[in-house]
Amino acid sequence: MNSVEQAARAANDQLFIPYMMGGDPSFDASVEIAFTLQESGAHILELGVPYTDPLADGPVIQEAGMRAFEEEMTLSKTFSLVRAIRDRGVTIPIVLFCYINPLLRYGIQSGVDAAAHAGADGWLIPDLPYEENEEVRNRCHQNELALVSLVAPTSRERIQKIAMQAEGFLYCVSSLGVTGVRKTFDERLDAFLQEAKRYSNVPLAIGFGVSDNEQVKAIHGQGFGVIVGSAIVREIGKHKDALRQANSRPQALKKIRSFVGTLVTP
């Protein structure tokens, strides 16, 4: 069992996975944000790698990616960020949320190896179909990394196949479309989750649109984990100027921790 699955199972029905964009609003700030998210109760950290054509990302995360590009973030620099986050004292598993092209440019074998050496625990590649993931999966296995799968409420056959192949945790997309804060979820969500749960051997976590404590409690109450991305990234964006400055950063981090606390308080 890989470290991602171990953490997901240990969290039981309180699994909380925050997403942050690496390098947003700066390299040094990202190190402290990661530590703050761990201190706020995160069980696993999703660390985004900026990309020029992020098909699954809504406007909030796209803007975060642009801020990261302004800091000259790359996949290689993300590996350095992972090392710095580990040096800061973050011990929870780190899953890299990365589109396939940056990894292809870096090289699949060398990229997966570098992630493992830096201290990452897994990859989540949203635009890599499960039918085409064998090379990445095999290299991940050689490095004891999880290749986390995304599954959406589409056809029953596809849900079954992806769920049966899932590693670490199964990222269940709450709504079709891009990431972002939502007040409602896809009406097929319950049936979809039961189908995925039936065939998955790893814990399920729900993402895309989870944005408030009421939603978090409802999802945890059904025995599923939660992934919160856009809501946290928006909060980081609110404090971007303060986060960039060492003297004002602690107060901004305190506000982020307080915000995350309002999301995940039982």
Which of 3-7, 72-76, 89-93, 214-218 has the lowest average pLDDT?
214-218
Does residue 157 carry a catalytic annotation? no
Instruction: Give me the CATH topology for the region 17-264.
Output: TIM Barrel (3.20.20)
Q: What is the mean pLDDT of residues 209-221?
A: 87
| Confidence (pLDDT) at 185 | 53
The domain spans of the chain are 17-264
Catalytic residue among 32, 46, 71, 121: 46
Where residue 180 falls among pLDDT bands split at 50, 70, 90? Answer: very low
Please tell me the distance from the alpha carbon of residue 254 to that of residue 251, in angstroms, as a whole number. 5
Does residue 241 carry a catalytic annotation? no
Q: pLDDT at residue 175 above 80?
A: no
Catalytic residue among 57, 71, 121, 167: 57
Where residue 176 falls among pLDDT bands split at 50, 70, 90? Answer: very low
| Confidence (pLDDT) at 178 | 43
Tens digits of per-residue pLDDT, 19-56? 999 999 999 999 999 999 999 999 999 999 999 987 76
| Four-residue CA torsion sign, 189, 191, 192, 196 | positive
Q: What is the mean pLDDT of residues 244-254?
A: 98
Which of 39-53, 100-114, 217-231, 242-256 has the lowest average pLDDT?
217-231
Q: What is the mean pLDDT of residues 109-134?
A: 97
| Confidence (pLDDT) at 186 | 53
| Confidence (pLDDT) at 265 | 80
Which of 9-13, 38-42, 148-152, 209-213 has the lowest average pLDDT?
209-213
pTM of the model: 0.94
Secondary structure in 3-state letters for the chain: CCHHHHHHHHHHHHCEEEEEECCCCCHHHHHHHHHHHHHCCCCCEEEECCCCCCCCCCHHHHHHHHHHHHCCCCHHHHHHHHHHHHHHCCCCCEEEECCHHHHHHHCHHHHHHHHHHHCCCEEECCCCCHHHCHHHHHHHHHCCCEEEEEECCCCHHHHHHHHHHCCCCEEEECCCCCCCCCCCCCCCHHHHHHHHHHHCCCCEEEECCCCCHHHHHHHHHCCCEEEECHHHHHHHHHCHHHHHCCCCHHHHHHHHHHHHHHHHCC
